[in-house]
Amino acid sequence: MPSVRFICMLAAMLVTGACTPGKESSEQQESSQQKEATLQFEGAVIRQPAPGLDKSVGYVSIANRTDKPITLVSAGSTVIGAIEIHETREVEGLMRMRRLMELSIGARDAAQLKPNGKHLMLFRLQPLRVGEQVEIVFTDTAGNQYAHAFDVVPLGYQP
């Protein structure tokens, strides 16, 4: 299966503004420079689901390079049915997950999505191969979108 990024590029060549709503147009280069200056993604990975499952987790560090807080309210991908932001916390000696409706990143601060903390919960994944890349698009409260490619890593991967 060709990578999502390749399909995006192909689609963008064929039809203007085809792939990611609002951000894949003739101004693509300009908006990717803009992304660079606002949110910076590092260590973005998706764990390959366990055999027979279509659910997994994603980890990433997201740095806010601006002087204002940025609050992400949703995330989506063409190969993932649903993406939620979760937080794992210890409650009375048990590790429990709860869904967060938003992820706020302070000015010049960073959010760390990592094991036993905040993470992306991925539901209804299409089959993924290790080494493949999956683009996830985040949307903030103002409707700005931030796309980043996540690397598919083996099930046992620890960042």
**Quick one: which of 56, 115, 50 has its CA closest to 84?**
56
Q: In the bound complex, what is the minimum distance in angstroms from residue 55's beta carbon to Cu ion?
A: 9
**Smaller CB distance to Cu ion: residue 5 or 118?**
118
- The sign of the torsion formed by the CA atoms of 20, 21, 26, 30 equals negative
Smaller CB separation from Cu ion, 65 or 86: 86
Total binding residues toward Cu ion, as defined by CB under 5 A: 3
User: Which of residues 8 and 153 has its CB atom nearest to Cu ion in the complex?
Assistant: 153
Q: Which CB sits closer to Cu ion, 7 or 121?
A: 121
37 three-class SS: helix
- Subset of 80-109 contacting Cu ion (CB under 5 A): 86, 97
Judged on CB neighbours under 10 Å (0-12, 13-18, 19+), 42 is exposed
**Contacting residue, 7, 63, 121, 149, with Cu ion by CB under 5 A:** 121
Task: Considering only residues 11 through 30, tell me which ones interact with Cu ion, judged by CB under 5 A.
Answer: none
Q: Report whether 44 contacts 152 (CB < 8 A).
A: no
CB of 119 to Cu ion, least distance (A): 6
DSSP category for residue 72: E
Binding site for Cu ion (CB under 5 A): 86, 97, 121
